[in-house]
A = this chain, B = another copy of it.
């Protein structure tokens, strides 16, 4: 079996999709008999080969240098490939003698045009939207003047997964995102949601790549936590007591089954021996690693039990939280800015076709915005400066009155980024009273070393701070906020024993990129009040 053995890891690294698209032949996928449509359509020549040759001849100086490349870029016509995917749209032609199918396999937004003769298969079945096909044939150059640059002439139909168009829940007509949310298991078959899936995948991997390149360790912080940091009211409880009760009571009266003690639920009998919740943030836990192995980050799901129905809130969402050891607020801002720019560059480089789809369908400015953020140095102003600018903002009337000490509202943030500076803005040194206890108190004693990264259209993208490393001051801050010290003793220990200067920030995986308004449409399986499909 040829596939049975494996090349050494340096060779493995070379087996990338990138290599496929520049090679003279299109490579089959390593773990399937098919080729990914992306390895045909995402070639610089779109599979046709013509354009590269034209380009080359237009500049004779390079002819000799580029000769090997010319030989390699004669296009894919004549190559035998097998592809698998779903029919986006199909139509019979020539009085039913053949059919055109637009086939998409999810590897890129582009469809491959596939031509099937009536002699080869039952065309009426193949042309239905949603039909899956696995077909083999020859790639060929289409007639001059047609839109596509390469097409597949099918010689053999390997597999067909049929669709009854009368019953298919995702018809070919344009479907609203609301409609799709009710058919969650089918929505990745649409152009929109599959583009979002590729963008989200790119952002997730870019995120890991950025931190790994800079020597941050990925730490899996816990999902189930007994550390109620932000008030139990907004947390989901995790329990086996109710299940147990329902089992014991054998479907009769339930409540006697829930163990009680002194009139309260006896959590000593719950799975973890105490009350447990879903995490709202891995920050405090990942800090135990920052204070031991230096630069770290966590990336995982976090939860909010807020009964919120806005476009910007979900009950379950993925959050990125890095911590930088032996670093201060300036370092934190540098890291946050470099991170955001890296993510933008990555999308422009790896997902331009998907971004172009988004620009066409949802938000004309989304690519320009990525380019601007990627290339423009962020403005950095203190909170006090920001308030001064807002107080003299000409031609703008804010709903929420501006005065030193308020939490900036979305309208204020958008004024700064969209009107005043027209670029991303980092606001730092916020009033102590509106920020969390773990943020480092500045020498003025009124502000803390916190910073928010604000971007046009979205507002706050990132929030971060230098952490308070001084044991006495952080204890005072906890008590000042009316919180008990006891649950934080482990966190205080990090300051008691070998404390260090460090900082961090957090952000959700972003709405910012796609131009889609509702966060429910940028996560595969959205959870919000009343909804947790699948």
Contact = CB atoms under 8 A, between A and B. Distances in A.
A380 B523 CA distance: 39
Give the 8 A-B CB pairs with smallest separation, nearest first.
A106-B293, A9-B345, A84-B326, A188-B292, A161-B499, A222-B525, A132-B498, A31-B335
A33 interface: yes
17 contacts: A4-B337, A6-B341, A9-B342, A31-B295, A31-B327, A31-B332, A84-B294, A131-B498, A169-B497, A220-B524, A222-B525, A223-B223, A224-B303, A224-B315, A236-B271, A240-B305, A246-B265
Contact of A217 (B201, B289, B305): B201
A316 to B, nearest CB: 6
Contacts of A252: 263
Nearest to A204: B218
Total copies of this chain within the assembly: 2
Interface in A266-311: 271-274, 276, 278, 284-285, 288-289, 291-295, 300-301, 303, 305, 307
A31 B295 CA distance: 10
Nearest to A106: B293
A408 to B, nearest CB: 22
Contacts of A212: 205
A292 B345 CA distance: 27
Contacts of A89: none
Contacts of A146: none
Contact of A524 (B84, B221, B294): B221
Q: Interface residue tally of chain A, by bracket?
A: 35 or more
Interface in A4-46: 4-6, 8-9, 12-13, 15-17, 29-34, 36, 38
Given A253-B263, A326-B134, A531 B272 contact: yes
B233 A163 contact: no
Contacts of A30: 214, 334-335, 338
A104 to B, nearest CB: 9
Interface stretch (A115-123, A147-155, A192-200, A432-440): A192-200
A232 interface: yes
A506 to B, nearest CB: 16
A52 interface: no
A108 to B, nearest CB: 10
Nearest to A533: B226
A36 B217 CA distance: 13
Contact of A188 (B107, B278, B288): B288
Contact of A497 (B168, B213, B293, B305): B168
Interface string A475-493: 0000000000000001101
